[in-house]
Amino acid sequence: MSKLISSLLLALSLFSASAWSASERDIRQSGFVYCVNGTLNTFNPQMASSGLVVDTLAAQLYDRLLDVDPYTYRLVPDLASSWEVRDNGATYRFHLRSKVSFQHTGWFTPTRPMNADDVVFSFARMFDRHHPWHNVNGGSYPYFDSLQFVDAVQSVKKLDDNTVDIRLNSPDASFLWHLATHYAPVLSAEYADRLTRLGRQEELDRQPVGTGPFQLSEYRAGQYIRLARNPAYWRGVPRLQQAVIDLGAGGTGRLSKLLTGECDVLAYPAASQISILRDDPRLRMTLRPGMNIAYLAFNTRKPPLDRPEVRHALALAINNERLMESIYYGTAETAASVLPRASWAYDNDARVTEYDPQKARAMLASLGVTDLHLRLVVPAASQSWNPSPLKTAELLQADLAQVGVQVSIAPVEGRFQEAQLMAMNHDLTLTGWATDSNDPDSFFRPLLSCAAIRSQTNYAHWCSPAFDEALQKALLSQQLAGRIDNYHLAQQMLARDLPVLPLASSLRLQAYRHDIKGLVLSPFGNASFAGVYRDEREEP
């Protein structure tokens, strides 16, 4: 696997034909620079578990069958102009838009518009284990694997060029919402066929071809991604010729670039930087509620963390109020559930774990837990759900030290976090989840179902058949009240067993230069650049 990743990164880096610095003036005239911290190991969001490709790139390169309105949180048409729910929620029929063109790139020129063959290919690749493309580049589709869709989808069938049926083995009230996430792009079957003939199937996920507003122009690993305008974009030509995603600086470096004008947009600025951003007349900020959760996961397969009583005792030692003050600076709310409060299934009876270190010490002593040493794995880079993971880890370390628990912090980068967590040699991990779906299933199943252990998104390694049963009953119900009842039950189970300790739901914060217009900040973390333009007339 390491050889595959290394060759992938090498192939991606070969896209760059010139240094970015040589064309900075061109960017200012014809585009904008979006600064974000992140790593990249694929251009295909189907194969990503989170991060840069899902949070930023997917909305530029690809479209999906359905979209979510960032203001109303409702499903709206995208590549499917309309859809029908049949068989009480077991069959979904999609009517596709006509005359939607795939991107013309340096490595592929389409000969036909997007049609049902592309939709069938895109989903059959993920959901059919016997599909010839299923195992290309590893055969891992973390988001949909965690939802067990390989076992849930009976067939993906073309009825005619503009109509597709997806049939499930049983009704699933959340299915449309999952198809509206950025994990479900429509890829080009024609491009896949061409790569098959050339014997270069692995390039499908490295040299992307989609129907989105921008297409890949250059990639310099660890430095930047240049996107060029798709002149044939079906919604209309994007207003700017190019967008550059700057990956080359983190933390205060990105802030400095925003202040000097090297960056036009700063994604996920640190909450501690808000006062600087507000005081600069050349800058603007947008703040919106986010569908995300930051949490501490206990490895429930390792003693003594396999005992719920121990997990509850450790939770009592965490000073969540201090986390809010020191990490989020008023840009988050304390979490009492894995579900954000904005979710329609949030249990209003959920309570934030109290802070009582004296009680924590007494509980650990009564349980016979002494001289406890724990290893905490934490991402080194800022995340949409946590602007300062390392600082958060240090605060948790100090809290647990007060009750006699020693914690060693192990910072990791990007994909290496997943490898370490699934090796099960950690005790704790500080992590989080953000989704572009308003359906509760997008939180519960990827994070805590039994299947999510195999798909490497359940970092707690916690498996409860009763919890999975509650989730399944919620999917089978076509009545909202029935779904809510089951999701409340699921939240009560999590509060009792505490495989993860919810910490915070952060607001989505974005800072940008005064002359940048048209960038809509979505609560789901991903927004198209198609409507962005520069208005030099506005005075700072």
CA distances for 477 relative to 124, 242, 491, angstroms? 26, 45, 18
Distance, C-alpha 64 to centroid of its chain: 15
Per residue in 376-426, pLDDT tens?
999 888 787 888 899 999 999 999 999 999 999 999 875 545 555 555 578
Burial label for 373, CB within 10 Å (0-12, 13-18, 19+), is exposed
- Domains of the chain from N-terminus onward: 1-35+213-288+508-540 (3.40.190.10), 61-206 (3.90.76.10), 292-506 (3.10.105.10)
Distance, C-alpha 460 to centroid of its chain: 18
* Residue whose C-alpha is closest to residue 178's, from 161, 160, 153: 153
Largest CA distance in the chain: 71
Paired tokens of 211: 């129907």
Tell me the helix, strand and coil percentages in the chain, rounded to 5: 35, 20, 45
* Residue whose C-alpha is closest to residue 50's, from 344, 289, 379: 379
DSSP 8-state code for residue 386? B
Mean pLDDT of the chain: 89
- HSE-CB of 114 using CA atoms within 13 angstroms: 34
pLDDT number for residue 230: 98
User: d(Cα 422, Cα 420) in Å, to the nearest integer?
Assistant: 6
Q: How confident is the model at residue 133 (pLDDT cuts 50, 70, 90)?
A: very high
Per residue in 465-512, pLDDT tens?
999 999 999 998 878 899 999 999 999 999 999 999 999 998 888 899
* Residue whose C-alpha is closest to residue 184's, from 269, 118, 229, 261: 118
Residues contacting 395, CB < 8 A, separation 6+? 319, 322, 323, 326, 327
Per residue in 81-125, pLDDT tens?
999 999 988 999 999 999 999 999 999 999 999 999 999 999 999
Statement: residue 5 has pLDDT above 70:
no
User: d(Cα 164, Cα 184) in Å, to the nearest integer?
Assistant: 15
Distance, C-alpha 276 to centroid of its chain: 28
Strand-by-strand arrangement of the 31-35 sheet: 214-220, 224-229, 242-246, 31-35, 265-267, 508-513, 283-288
Q: Return the residue matching tokens 């759900």.
A: 385
Q: Which amino acid is it at 63? A: D
Statement: residue 19 has pLDDT above 50:
no
Q: For strand 163-168 and strand 91-96, is the pairing parallel, antiparallel, or unpaired? A: antiparallel
Q: What per-residue string of b and e applies to 45-61 under the rule 16 or more CB within 10 Å gives b?
A: bbbbbbbbbbbbbbbbb
Helix axes 441-448, 465-476, angle to 10 degrees: 150
Q: For strand 265-267 and strand 31-35, is the pairing parallel, antiparallel, or unpaired? A: parallel
Q: Determine contact, residues 291/437, Cβ cutoff 8 Å.
A: yes
pTM value is 0.78
